[in-house]
Structure 1
Amino acid sequence: MRNHIRTTALAATALLAALSLTACGGDNGDNSKTGAMAPAANSTTTTPDTDKDAKDTKGGKDAKDTDGGTANAPAENVSTTSKGSKGSTGATNGRKSNAGATGSGSKSPVTCTGDNTKVTVSKVSRPINHLLLTATNTGNRPCYAYHAPSLGFDDAQAAFPVLRDSIPQAVVTLEPGQSAYASIGLFGESDGKNLYKGKNLTVYFTPKSNSGSTGSPAVLKLPANTYWGDNGFVTYWQSTMDEALTY
């Protein structure tokens, strides 16, 4: 009987122990749930990372915005190009200005005369018994120095002889500021002592037709002690001093 009671007590104790274990197992289940929530907490912890990624994604959007800014660059380039177009217009204006300058320089030439040139006469050491005429274009358009100047010493009635051998290859054209040259051989060997002392020299400009004179003449004072003869000569207008003084 006592054994039966002990056995019953042991059974009861075992039952209580089983119930206790069941209760503990329920607690463990709650912990499991709590443990299951840990990953959720980790997921929550991960969520800021997700937000960070989202921010990175926004950063990516910023990058897209940056690309958008880059995309705006062509717009700026277009604007710059537009300014460039204005610049091109300015350049065109510059070209027009240049064309104007060229147009100014390309005005149709006129005949050189005493009205649009400054004429001077000077004595030279070589060749001996020579004078040098210089005609400088003082006008604002080119002028043609046609043929040879026609010279009149003092009150001489006849024109001074022209040296035909001095004809240049082309008509001398003077841009504004440029000069043409002609040399004067004061007398020839055949003149001997039949020389005249000159005081003044009148320089007439010859037209293209080579007949008569054109425009106003230039009246010059001759260098001191200038003597001339009937067999002297004047050359055609030359483009350089050296060419003129070769005769």
Structure 2
Amino acid sequence: MRSNRIRTTVLAATALLAALSLTACSGDNGSSESSKAGAAAPVANTIDKQATSQPESQSQPQTAAPKEGATDAPATNSGTKTDGSGSGTTKNTAPPTKSDAKNTGGSTDKAGNTASSSKRVTCTGSNTKVTVTKVSRPINHLLLTVTNTGSQLCDAYYAPKLRFDDAQAVFPILDDSQPQAVVTLDPGQSAYAAIGLTGEPGNGPAPRKATHLQVNFAGKNNVGSTGTPAELTLPANTYWDDNGFVTYWQTEMADALQY
């Protein structure tokens, strides 16, 4: 009987130990679930932290992204505008400058024709008109006028080279009348030369009467004459002698008649 009791006691103890083991296992499972739940908590906390830190990043200044097709209004009037495509390309809105089609490289005559300054010729009897007139002051003087009748500039070099009737020698030239520059004539423009017909009375041969005057033109090198001469009829009762003179071509009539 005693052994049966001992066996019963052992079996009861064994059953108690098994029950305790089952309870312990249940406690371990609960702890595992709790651990898992506790492990997920930091993730939630991390999300909350990011959410709470968002205002700090938003507090810093930011540059808003430009909307497509949007343009900034210019602060000043620069004469340009955007094309509206959002690419920032500018278009020049200033009105185009009109070019002057007129030729300004030469001189213009009264008729509005323009003579090119790059084409210059020598004044001769073929591209000019020459006239001779008698003047009251100074006495015993004639006035030669040469007018450019061509379409180009012409240069009246030095002084006219004169011959009265059939004289063998060229009429004397007054060196003191030489201008500072060559006289250049636009089309239609004139130059002048004075002819002193006689010198002081009693100096040399007696004056001779003349009816015809040949006007020759000097070239650039002033050797002989160039081009076609002008043939003129002298005013009535024209007398000349070897002491007379002719001036250089002048741009002003008064400059020629001062000698």
TM-score by length of structure 2 reads 0.59
Structure-2 residue corresponding to 1:64: none
Moved over 6 A (4+): 100-103
- Report the counterpart of residue 151 of structure 2 in structure 1: 140
Structure (1 or 2) with the larger CA radius of gyration: 2
* CA positional deviation for 1:101: 6.5
Among 99, 103, 128, the residue aligned to 1:98: 103
Q: Which amino acid aligns with 2:144?
A: L
Matched, 1:213 2:249: no
* CA drift at 1:214: 0.5
How far, CA to CA, are the matches of 1:203 and 1:172 in structure 2? 17
The aligned residue for residue 118 of structure 1 is 129
8 Å CA contact 1:191, 1:230 repeated in 2: no
SS at match of 1:97: coil
> Matches of residues 220-231 of structure 1 in structure 2 within 5 Å?
220-231=232-243
Q: Structure 2 counterpart of 1:155, which letter?
A: D
Equivalent positions of 1:1-247 (< 5 A) are 84-85=95-96, 88=97, 91-92=98-99, 95-99=100-104, 104-189=115-200, 190-191=202-203, 194-247=206-259
Unaligned segments of structure 2, at least 5 residues: 1-81, 84-92, 108-113
State how far apart, in whole Å, the 1-side matches of 2:155 and 2:235 are.
27
Cα distance between partner residues in 2 of 1:135 and 1:225 = 23
Is 1:113–1:215's contact at 8 Å kept on the other side of the alignment? yes
Mapped to 2, the partners of 1:220 and 1:201 lie a distance apart of: 5
Residues 22-50 of structure 1: per-residue CA shift (max 9 Å, x gap): xxxxxxxxxxxxxxxxxxxxxxxxxxxxx
The runs of 5 or more residues in structure 1 that have no matched partner are: 1-73, 76-80
Q: Is the 1:107–1:141 contact (alpha carbons within 8 Å) kept by the matching residues of 2?
A: no
Aligned length: 166
Alpha-carbon distance between aligned partners in 2 of 1:98 and 1:151, rounded to the nearest angstrom: 38
Structure richer in helix, relative to its length: 1
Partner of 1:43: none
User: Contact 1:191–1:229 (CA<8 Å) still a contact in 2?
Assistant: no
TM-score (norm 1): 0.61
RCO comparison, higher one (Cα < 8 Å, 6+): 1
Partners of 1:153 and 1:101 lie apart in 2 by: 37
| Counterpart amino acid of residue 103 in structure 2 | N
Deviations along 1:184-230, one digit per CA (max 9) or x if unpaired, are 00011144661111101000000111110000000000001101111
